[in-house]
Structure 1
């Protein structure tokens, strides 16, 4: 039978549970990882801004104290902002903006390599209109100038560097595009970096004059977002890995659910077979590796066997009881009817006496059947307690010694001197001795002998009842302990064939065994062995 796939089935819920667990684990780990990365790169970005601000601080203090010409601070701030790829704002002591580089553009400059150097002031060394000391300065040695101009306005110089040069004069106009990126600048026509991807960190440091007065404040912001690309790549990889982990976990849950539901379905199938009347149905999980399922299958099979045995016993009991009850009940009804129609008082009394005998026979038969059913159902095992078998055998033996003497039979007992205890029901153990001695007394003719022997050896005790009676035919021995079975040579004796069946059931309930030795006309010996408590 196939289990329906619905939201309440293990086949659906187990993969879903695996997937949810994998998703939660991936979300937790990914969140922690991204948080750590963000904090790390945020710290790096702030240290970058703060380090540049600290390095620029003394230079700007010097420039601001030297009364720079208009526009010089803006040009210098713009050049430094391009080189460091940050936005720089210079504020006065009243927090008014003196210079603002703005957010660096990704394509804002060109580099020009020229011929003999000319004087261009930078970083306060000289003014923009001429030499700082009022005299024109010319260099006697050959130099090459590398100048970076703004792409928007070619007259706006961002950077200049003069280097000694001894070779032939280079071309006067060698132009190289310079494109900015969050990590510096590259020599390409257009940068592919995203200029909008900037750090949110801000670094502020005060600008203090030599006399301790506050000149203003230097603010670095919108610096390179070092971790943006890495965090983005990690995030995409994490999302992909999370999806992959959820899928793998769901597949693992699916296969796990199959291994879980397979034995469950086998149990369900066997249960339904038993429900439909197939009491032979069993669960075969010999290939199952899970010890718990093997234990469950063994328990189920044991229960099924017990149910089958109980049902079979009940069916046999009903059939046998119906058969055995039918004869005395028919005789009882017949005698009652005859007594009802009989006019003669003595004859009517005889019919009623016969009816009474049949009624007593029915009573004994019903009582024996009830006793047998209770024993086979193991109702009394919970009441087991240590029983002194020596005292029990002595009491029953004394009772039957008197009856044997009255019936002209020789009765003997051989009992040990020490106490012998077994775990069981005293009432049932007493019934074993009574049933065996009853049969011995019934089937032993006058002048014969009966013996009761109790022997203790190692971990078991044996109760043996022997007689010199009529014996049991060999053909009847295999069926001796079956319910309602009576030997061919016992038809002339009263009985219902339940005495030895009760003995067998009690012995098995006490984890013992029973053995029989008999020969026709030479007597019978029945030995019951029980484990010592």
Structure 2
């Protein structure tokens, strides 16, 4: 090959991590080889490879010429540190300035012992993964039981104080604070439980006809009413409501997270949710007027454990939006976000699978 051709070929060889040979089409001379091929076939001795005929084996005492014609694939036994390995080369034609060469790219053939070891490693990793999933699930459920008992006791206490005429504004404020903290803990446990199901591939949706506005209305009453800051969730519906096909539990977790974030990251105005029923799709927008999200954070917003650069001092695990995106997409929806620092944030969900269209 001409000097400029050699330079081009050398650049190409350096860009491939597997063993690569450039072989002449007539006499099967190894014209060039990358460093991986030299190390693998001749233990780093380029003089025993380049410029010589392709051999039927490398690393042994006796070298035999490779039979012609060159097949589309061939195996080369290689002796390395007293062990024999097989390199499987795939051959394809290569043309440089009208002249034909053979490009052979190799990959080590794993022996039965190596395959068995890899299988054992995979089985062990799978077992550890299952143990992690089971532990996360068990822990979440174990924490939820006492939290439910505490919540029930608080409701009874509030009812009794009110019945006895002793429910002062101080008592009401403290009970609301406790309720808020319990809600935050339950939300965190929901995230951990969802993450464990996702890790165990146990989160496929059970899609049935659901009414999103009813889910949001129930969440607003159960979790986002009687707040200590006296803010409330504004809900508006545009168009004729129609049920969509979705997993009710997953949809509830999506809505809970987005509504909770809207309250968490804003302090003055009321967050809002708008459902727009169009002919072929449902568009749901969650909007707040809070601290917003820096532009540099937006590409990573749905990444697990990622938190915005301007949320110091605000509790959170960084898991919520990752789970939200997974659940939205598993229900064949899309999610997008628009935001600016101190300009608020808007999340937009779009679902196109109406139940009455199936």
Quickly name the TM-score band, shorter chain normalised: 0.3 to 0.5
Richer in helix (by share): 1
TM-score after normalising by structure 1 = 0.32
TM-score after normalising by structure 2 = 0.46
| Greater relative contact order (CA < 8 Å, ≥ 6 in sequence) | 1
- Structure with greater Cα Rg: 1
